Amino acid sequence: MLAAAGAGLPEGVAAEPASKQPVAPLTDAETSAAVASVDAAEVGISGGLPRPAWWDFTMPPATLATLLIILPYSVILAAVGLIESLMTLTLVDELTDTRGSSNRECLGQGVANVACGFFGGMGGCAMIGQSLINVKAGGRRRLSGITAAVALLVFILFLAPLIEAVPMAALVGVMLMVVIGTFEWTTLQTWRRIPRADVLIMLVVAAYTVFMHDLATAVVLGVALSALVFAWNKSKHLIADTQIDEHGSKIYQLHGVLFFGSVTRFRDLFSPQDDPEDVVIDFYFSRVYDQSGLEAINALAERYQKLGKRLHLRHLSEDCRRLLDKAGELVEVNISEDPHYHVATERRG
């Protein structure tokens, strides 16, 4: 049995029974034999300094057809790279109690990948595992990232034979430890406390990534689901406080946002048949976000107009006023002039 186990070992490496403890380290001869047994053509990582791509390859024609071929893949790779880089930036900010610039990160990554493509290299992005190890080892400044890049360059140019001799099982173990150290285990304790919709979105995104092997689409799917959940929750939080002022006008004080998801609730808040001749909608605590909100206001104004009653809008924000100005004849309501408030102060001599 021992002979069968040692049959596949390279020359100079002998199999020993497990009962012999402790296991002695490899000798120089065994190390050399292990390195020599690696087929560099299959698993080699050695390389050279970058060269312009047009020196070694025939460049494709710069036409629209070529662009249409590479555009879908470039968009997917750019999306995945940006997503992982921004996730890494967020993680590092949390660990170091700092705030990085996402705009600078995206711009720098884009410029670097474009320049890398001219030299025939592969695109890259920030790596969560490597960044986490770097931060936990004490790296805080640019020098830590430069050191990691230079070390990787040295491995590829000069130390490739030694790295190629590392067993794949050892690399798998390293990556497994990185995953264990990166995963937020505390989130498992909060699943019962967070909304079920958030848990469902996380499970859907994780399952889609694992089974479809498409992180970019999974993120888009998660964003779409989150947007729908957000719209649904916001649509339920549009309310109105009503009161009659000294002039006999009924004032609806809105709270919440008026958009496509809350149009039905907005319509149900009003009862034109029972309201007095003059009605005021106060938007001091509310905002109008889209065309659906404008159409809802216009439809409400028509209901009051058919009954011979007046509808006024008050305390519209600047963005709401711009929406009404762009709508033009779509919305016909009376916008009341907002009252001006002054803060009274006491000056003591």
Domain boundary among 206, 234, 262: 234
302-315 mean pLDDT: 88
Is there a single domain that holds both residue 230 and residue 265?
no
Provide the domain count of the chain.
3
Give domain status of residue 46, yes or no: no
pTM: predicted TM-score of the whole model, two decimal places: 0.61
Rounded CA separation 205/217 (Å): 9
Burial of 286 (0-12, 13-18, 19+ CB in 10 A): buried
Give domain status of residue 274, yes or no: yes
Give domain status of residue 28, yes or no: no
Tell me the average pLDDT of the chain: 80
Is there a single domain that holds both residue 189 and residue 87?
no
Give domain status of residue 345, yes or no: no
Give domain status of residue 161, yes or no: yes
pLDDT at position 14:
59
Is there a single domain that holds both residue 148 and residue 132?
yes
Is there a single domain that holds both residue 132 and residue 191?
no
Is there a single domain that holds both residue 61 and residue 163?
yes
pLDDT at 331 over 50: no
Question: In which domain, by residue range, is 158 found?
Answer: 53-180
Is there a single domain that holds both residue 73 and residue 150?
yes
Give domain status of residue 265, yes or no: yes
186-211 mean pLDDT: 87
Is there a single domain that holds both residue 213 and residue 281?
no
What confidence category does residue 328 fall into, taking pLDDT thresholds of 50, 70 and 90?
A: low
Is there a single domain that holds both residue 173 and residue 276?
no
Is there a single domain that holds both residue 107 and residue 214?
no
Indicate left, alpha or beta for 264 from its phi (over 0: left) and psi (-120 to 50: alpha).
alpha
Rounded CA separation 266/300 (Å): 9
Rounded CA separation 229/209 (Å): 21
Is there a single domain that holds both residue 227 and residue 253?
no
Please report how many Cα atoms fall inside a 13 Å half-sphere around the Cα of residue 66, on the Cβ side.
5
pLDDT at 346 over 50: no
Is there a single domain that holds both residue 260 and residue 217?
no
CA distances from 211 to 172, 204, 205, 214, 218 (A): 20, 11, 10, 8, 10
Give domain status of residue 36, yes or no: no
Q: To which residue do tokens 């000056």 refer?
A: 347
Amino acid (1-letter code) at residue 349: G
